[in-house]
Structures are given as C-alpha cells and as structure tokens.
Amino acid sequence: MARPNTRQIILDAALECFLAQGFTGTSIADIRVRSGASTGSIYHFFDGKEDLALALCAEGLRSWAQAACVVPANGTPEQIVRAMVTGTITWALANEPLHRFMMQSEFLAPTAAQRSDLIDVMMEARLSQERILRSLALSSQVRPLAPDLIRALVLGPAEAYLRERAHGRAASLPEEAIAALGEAAWQALRLPDDAQHALAPAAAAAGARPVRRRSFDLV
C-alpha cells in the first residue's frame, strides 16, 4: 500500500495531537514530533496550527456531506431518506476521530466564515445534497416542505445523536440510532395516505403527477 503523502501525514498527526492534548495545548513542535515531518514541511503546507485545524474540518465536512448523498438509484423517497440517515451515521462511525474533532471545533466557525476556501467547501457540501433534497420536495409521497426543512428533519436528529455520541453522552447503540432515526425521519416527511389519495384524482385528470402546493428555489 502506498504511503500517504506528507500533507496527509501532517494532518493525521495534528488530529491525534488535537484530540489528545486539545487545540490550545497542542504546539507545532508536538505535531512535528508526532508526524516526523520537519517544521519547514509543516509550514510549506499550512500557515500554522489554526490552518491545520481548519483543513481537518474542511476534509471532514466534504466527505461527510458526500456520505449523506449515497442513496439508491431510482430509490423510493423512503429508501432515500433512510439511506441519508444511514450514510450520515455510518460516516461518523468510520471516521470517529475526525468527527469527534469536528464536534469539538465549533470555536473555529467565525474564522471559517471569513475564508473563501472554507466557504467553497461549505457551499460544495450544501450543493452536493441539493439534487436529492429537490427530488424529495417534489415527491407526491412527501409533505410539501421547503428543502431546508426536509434536510433538518432528515439529518438534524442524526447529527444531534452524533454530537451526543462524540461527547460521550449517547446511550443508544449506532445500529439502534440508524433504525430509529431513519424511521422517525421518514414518518416526519411522509404525506399521510389519505392526503396522497386526495391528490390522485386531480393527477389522473391532469395526466401528470399531483401539483404541489408550493415550489422552492434552493439557490
């Protein structure tokens, strides 16, 4: 297996140091010792300790958002909702150190909001979910909600569970959370059968899918 590149080695070492000693308690010297890289190499890739922390958050945010978008092709709305919940929780379990650091790094938000590269990552993460959220918003099986509310109902509870788990406060096992939160997310979005049936005659008369009561622009 190929050895990770120097930049990744430094990032991995920084993550270990931040989790073991805290951001404030970690120095560039600590990262240098743990990574085996020279001080010059560290500053070649990063401007300093804060830049390293922001790079870790960006890496995590990008891959976390992508994991939530792994849904079955031509899946039903229920399958898509459950897959988004499963992907979100599964990613956090597979990347537990990075996820734990992200949950502990909210103090970096003001700095991240002023950096164009981090803004691009956050926008990329948002747009990666846009197609899925729009398809759910237009589905006749889903309550007519704006995509931002759909995202909050689908991923908000899973993210809250993971935040508790990252801080050691979760009592439920991950598999229990995936099942319960996937079911809860679908029930929160699902249009009741009687409402779906009420829309069916109008759709048949129009020769198309039911007309939604609202339309939304995600941009």
| Total domains, the chain | 2
User: b or e along 31-63 (b: 16 or more beta carbons within 10 Å of the residue's beta carbon)?
Assistant: bbebbebeeebbeebbeebebbbbbbbbbbbbe
CATH classification of the domain holding 79: 1.10.357.10
pLDDT interval class at 4 (50, 70, 90): low
For 77-86, 106-115, 180-189, which range has the lowest pLDDT when averaged over its residues? 106-115
11 and 82 fall within a common domain: no
For 18-66, the pLDDT digits (tens) are 999 999 999 999 999 999 999 999 999 999 999 999 999 999 988 998 8
- The DSSP bridge partners found for residue 24 are none
pLDDT score recorded for residue 197 = 56
- Is 74's pLDDT higher than 80? yes
33 and 106 fall within a common domain: no
- Is 213's pLDDT higher than 50? no
Cβ neighbours around 147 below 10 Å, total: 19
CATH classification of the domain holding 30: 1.10.10.60
pLDDT > 90: what percent of the chain?
61
- Could you tell me if 6 and 38 are in contact, meaning their C-beta atoms sit under 8 angstroms apart? no
33 and 89 fall within a common domain: no
37 and 76 fall within a common domain: no
- Is 67's pLDDT higher than 50? yes
Q: What is the pTM assigned to this prediction? A: 0.80
Which domain does 35 fall in, by range? Answer: 1-46
> Cα torsion for 189, 192, 193, 196, to the nearest 10°?
-70
Residue 190 tokens read as 């699902």
Give the residue, 67 or 201, on which the prediction is more confident: 67
On average, the pLDDT of the chain sits at: 86
pLDDT, average across residues 171-183? 95
